[in-house]
Amino acid sequence: MVTKVVMPRLSLTMKAGTVVTWFKKEGEAVKRGDPLVEVLSEKVTYDVEAPSSGILRKIVETEGADVLVAGILGIIAEPNEQLPETDEAAVSPTSERIDAATPPLKKEMVKEVRERVLASPAAKRLAREHDVDIMEVKGSSPRGRIVEADVRQYLEEKEVHAPRVREVVHLTGIRRTTAERVSLSARTAPHSTVTMEVDMSSAVRLREKAQVSHTDILVKAVAHALEEHRSLNSTLKGEQIKIYEDINLGVAVATEKGLVVPVIKKANTKSLVQVASTLRGLVEKAREGRLTKEELAGGTFTITNLGMYGVEVFIPIINPPEAAILGVGKITQKPVTRNSKIEVKPMMYLSLSYDHRIVDGAPAAKFLQRVKQILEKS
Amino acid sequence: MRELTYRDALREALREEMLRDETVFLLGEDIGRYWGGAFKVTKGLAEEFGDDRVRDTPISESAIVGAAVGAAITGMRPVAEIMFGDLSALAMDQICNQAAKICYMFGGQTKVPLVVRTPFGAGVNIASHHSQSLEAWFMHTPGLLVAVPSTPFDAKGLLKTAIRGSNPVMFFEHKLLYPVKGEVPDENYTIPFGLADVKLEGEDATIFATLHMVQKALAAAQELRKQGTSVEVIDPRTLVPLDSKAIAKSVKKTGRIVIVTEDSKTAGTSAEIAAIIAEEALDYLDAPIRRVAEPDAPIPFSPSLEQYVIPDEKAIIRAVKEVV
């Protein structure tokens, strides 16, 4: 006798189910009542039992398939019995695939249900209390059931290997803000970085002449370059890239309490001397912790300098929601070739991290090239 | 300390309360001077207190409890004896519809300071009508208190509290416990209701047991101890009120519970205890709750079949081993 194994209706609202596991292979003998195939509805897993004894002649729906209620999953028959047409439509008009419009049952759900661990309530409680992922604990009871003692042992073993804690510092204030913002940036903005070495000879001369800092010159040069490369002075919001009119340059300042980024508003409209005096004021206020909200808001691009710590080159994280950030290394006297002759020049690395969703490598490189040009001709 | 049998401890409680309060009197079948009760609990009391205070009654459980309820609401403190717990079925209306509800239905204008003493339990080969354990019937009726002493000490202390109280108490004894001896102090004492007693402290699993099953649980614990398993035995002593806190505390300590009662399993005492543990200590359970109870069958007359249905030490040990 030919018997069809069908997708059961496990609840009133169930429309379809997923085939999770076949317990038998095609050609294997089955006995009526034996668990034959595990299926999953939105709510439960269920072992479909063999409706009759015989040979599992055909598996119609393989593991992972979504099948409508009453759809044929497989066929049981005698060894040499003639099977009906194996064409799916002929086997059953109801076994059609789920309409593409209805959301398919998620594979993750299958995984979740299958990986459910056998653990006692006490074991689960202890795991919860100590933030232990119960999946990592090995069960010692029959069938691998995890009991309280297993979690305890896991904790003890972890205790042995874990480093000893000297003190615990809570994330508060600037530290907390920084943690949140860099995570947001690293999580959402695909970072890419380009680097370039800059001859700072003329910048060094300008610095001495104008009594300004390297950073002031950098701010001015970057503001200038951004005027010509607007795509770097932008942000991505949803499906839109907003390109800013204002060029507001943030300068990262390390203080005792942590990193702050005061902003020089409309830096492109300011003279070098104006930039210098504005920045001096902002840095002073930053060190004293007196920066106002306004002075910290509205940045469109950030410059971060670790040169004073001897850093030659580093890869900065974009200050969200900006499009890019410029990392500045230290100025080093280095032998370089000029007209096939070796000369010693004050050299400095610039590294530009940019949000690859907004700009590609070529425009980023062109912008950086422009910054280099400006600095070398200043 | 001196040792008394469970039977003598009960008699001592009755005697002391009769001496203390002249409104206390006893009534029941064959409890008087000619017989002293089927299990001899009231032996000698008629001689000491007279036939008026130790009254032999006709064979009518309904009349015994009905008369006792009437006496109780008119100012007496009757202690009625029903010869076998099974026969309380004959007095069910008086117990569950009258005694249990009078205080409530009359807005507290009258109390029912009544004690109904009666023995439960199988094991003496007297068949289905005389061997049941029916505590759950009365636990299920709001308005009744239910005492289930397992030792001479508890029997005396709880009976005195029952007699002094102002609400109806179903006081359940066990036939096999009457000759069991235990320490009972000379000095006057009572035991409050709703206070469980840890009969044996242990670490690996808790056994909840009542009445004669406490003895078996302790024997099982001794055997398990030899095999390296430390078992705690907790006896609630009263089922209503129930010391659920103490039960939960023990379960939280051991993480494992085996409930041992002599009543049949379905909707029995053990079902209620299991439910309470699931409600109050689920997160501390390290193994499924196990119940050891009588199967859902009338108690057989045949001694070998009777022994087969009564939970024994082996069944308790097996259940503990399943969970530890």
pLDDT for A145: 87
pLDDT at A92 over 80: no
At residue B176, what is the residue type? Answer: L
Q: Which two tokens stand for residue B144?
A: 């009744």
Which residue matches tokens 């970085």?
A: A193
ipTM over the 0.90 cut-off = no
pLDDT at B27 over 50: yes
Residue A164 CB burial class (10 angstroms; 0-12, 13-18, ≥19): exposed
Catalytic positions of B, written as ranges = 130
Q: Which two tokens stand for residue A52?
A: 């009759």
Q: What is the pLDDT averaged over residues A123-127? A: 93
Q: How far is the alpha carbon of B230 from chain A, nearest alpha carbon, in Å?
A: 16
Per the prediction, chain A carries an average pLDDT of: 88
A125–B contact, CB cutoff 8 A: yes
pLDDT tens-place string over residues B107-120 = 999 999 999 999 99
3-state secondary structure of B34: coil
Answer whether B6's CB lies under 8 Å from B177's CB. Answer: yes
Q: Chain B: residue nearest A119 by CA? A: B286
B321–A contact, CB cutoff 8 A: no
Q: What's the length of chain B?
A: 324
Q: Which two tokens stand for residue A249?
A: 């340059």
> Which residues in B lie closer than 8 A to residue A149 (C-beta atoms)?
286
pLDDT for A85: 64
> Which residues in A lie closer than 8 A to residue B287 (C-beta atoms)?
120, 141, 147
Q: Tell if the CB–CB gap between B283 and A125 is shorter than 8 Å.
A: yes
Q: Tell if the CB–CB gap between A120 and B285 is shorter than 8 Å.
A: yes
Q: Tell if the CB–CB gap between B284 and A124 is shorter than 8 Å.
A: no
pLDDT at A91 over 70: no
Q: Which of B283, B289, B290, B322 to mutate to test the interface with A (most CBs of A within 10 A)?
A: B283
Q: How far is the alpha carbon of B274 from chain A, nearest alpha carbon, in Å?
A: 15
Rounded to a whole number of angstroms, the CA Rg of chain A reads 33
Nearest to B285 among A122, A141, A149 (CB): A122
pLDDT for B117: 98
Give dist(CA B85, CA B121) in Å, integer.
8
Q: Where are the beta strands (DSSP E) in B97-236?
A: 115-120, 145-147, 169-174, 181-183, 197-200, 205-209, 231-235
SS3 content of chain A, % helix, strand, coil (to 5): 35, 25, 40
If you count residue pairs, one on A and one on B, with CB atoms under 8 Å apart, how many are there? 25
pLDDT for A111: 45
pLDDT for A45: 81
Within 269-308 of B, beta carbons closer than 8 Å to A belong to 282-287
pLDDT tens-place string over residues B247-306 = 999 999 999 999 999 999 999 999 999 999 999 999 999 999 999 999 999 999 999 999
| Structural domains in chain B, sorted by start | 3-183 (3.40.50.970), 197-323 (3.40.50.920)
Q: What is the pLDDT averaged over residues A27-37? A: 91
DSSP class per residue in B87-130: GGGGGHIIIIIIITTHHHHTTTSS----EEEEEE---SS--GGG
pLDDT for A165: 85
Q: Chain A: residue nearest B255 by CA? A: A122
Within 156-185 of B, beta carbons closer than 8 Å to A belong to none
Within 248-267 of B, beta carbons closer than 8 Å to A belong to 255
Give dist(CA A118, CA A134) in Å, integer.
10
pLDDT tens-place string over residues B198-256 = 999 999 999 999 999 999 999 999 999 999 999 999 999 999 999 999 999 999 999 99
- Measured on CA atoms in the order B168, B173, B179, B180, is the torsion positive or negative? negative
Q: Chain A: residue nearest B287 by CA? A: A120
> Which residues in A lie closer than 8 A to residue B286 (C-beta atoms)?
120-123, 147-149
Q: Chain B: residue nearest A145 by CA? A: B287
Q: Chain A: residue nearest B252 by CA? A: A122
pLDDT tens-place string over residues A244-256 = 999 999 999 998 8
Nearest to B287 among A120, A124, A125 (CB): A120
Share of chain A above pLDDT 70, in %: 91
> Which residues in B lie closer than 8 A to residue A124 (C-beta atoms)?
283
> Which residues in B lie closer than 8 A to residue A147 (C-beta atoms)?
255, 286-287
Give dist(CA B110, CA A173) in Å, integer.
68
A29–B contact, CB cutoff 8 A: no
pLDDT confidence bin for A114, thresholds 50/70/90: very low
Give dist(CA A243, CA B260) in Å, integer.
77
> Which residues in B lie closer than 8 A to residue A122 (C-beta atoms)?
255, 283-286
Write down the pTM of the prediction.
0.61
Closest CA to A13 of A37, A45, A41, A47: A41
> Which residues in A lie closer than 8 A to residue B255 (C-beta atoms)?
120, 122, 147-148
